[in-house]
Amino acid sequence: MMKIAVLVSGGGSNLQAILDAKVRGELPNGELCLVLSSSPDAYALERAAKAGVPQAVCRPQDYADRSAYTDAIIETLKDYGAEVVVLAGFMFMLAPQFAEVYENRAINVHPALIPSFCGPGFYGLKVHERALAAGVKVSGATVHFVTAETDAGPIIAQKAVDILEDDTPQVLQRRIMEQCEWILLPRALRLLSEGKITVKDGKVHIDQ
Ligand code: GRF
């Protein structure tokens, strides 16, 4: 069983999608060893508790700087034996050593079709506000490996949805979560835990 840790900051609906996939038998080679939150108030922690998954909290404000915080996260992940890490709505930029330690073993879900609407400053509702302001006709989600540069790692999977006339950022966010993120993320995790994903020259190859 591959040990999976999920990093969260808020609602944890993507975490829930992973937990549900596990219950349905769609993550046969993986088990959740830890849900690590940047905030003690994250609802994601309740979801973890209900599912019987160990929880930990590491608050950025308790550390001198980004690097010290990142070291604490890495230590906690090691304590729980995490082999694979999922950033699922984790709202804090980790220092480069995280991507080094977990090279090709950490994945992130971003609520847009990378390379559109991504990078520093594109998080939460802001992503969808910018997509609507640009007038694009489709958006979606991307699951990618984490590298030192924000939202720039090798792309594992993407899924698109139409943008509709009267969409608000909230409505679009919900559609992208339901139709893209909650489907793509557990699927990518399954492939990763089954050793079916390889990275060569910065590109992902999937052995289906
Ligand atoms: C998701 O849209 C995720 O892609 C983004 O933040 C949102 C978090 O949702 N980065 P949740 O905490 O998984 O419900």
- pLDDT at res. 10: 95
Q: Is the Cβ atom of 11 under 6 angstroms away from ligand 1?
A: yes
Q: Closest ligand 1 atom to the C-alpha of 176? A: 2
Residue written as tokens 């492939």? 191
Instruction: Report how far residue 37's alpha carbon sits from residue 190's, in angstroms, rounded to the nearest whole number.
Output: 22
DSSP string, 8-24: ESS--HHHHHHHHHHHT
Q: Which residues contact 107 (CB under 8 A, 6 or more apart)?
A: 84, 85, 86, 87, 143, 144, 145, 146, 156, 185, 188, 189, 192
Mean pLDDT score, 149-155: 97
Q: What pLDDT digit, counting tens, does each position of 126-146 carry? A: 999 999 999 999 999 999 999
Substitution site in 7, 9, 13, 173 for ligand 1 pocket (most atoms within 8 Å of beta carbon): 13
pLDDT, tens digit, 9 for 90 and up, residues 91-121: 999 999 999 999 999 999 999 999 999 999 9
Q: What value does the mean pLDDT take over residues 83-89? A: 97
Q: Which of 169, 160, 164, 117 shows the shortest CA–CA distance to 139?
A: 160
For 28-73, what is each residue's pLDDT tens digit? 999 999 999 999 999 999 999 999 999 999 999 999 999 999 999 9
Strands (E), 114-196: 138-145, 155-162
pLDDT for 183: 98
Distances (CA, A) of 43 to 16, 89, 118, 131, 164: 11, 12, 25, 27, 30
Closest residue CA from atom 6 of ligand 1: 89
pTM of the model: 0.96
- At 188, is the pLDDT very low, low, confident or very high (cuts 50, 70, 90)? very high
pLDDT on residue 167:
98
Q: How would residue 208 be classed by pLDDT, with cut points 50, 70 and 90? A: confident
- For residue 17, name the pLDDT band (cuts at 50, 70, 90): very high
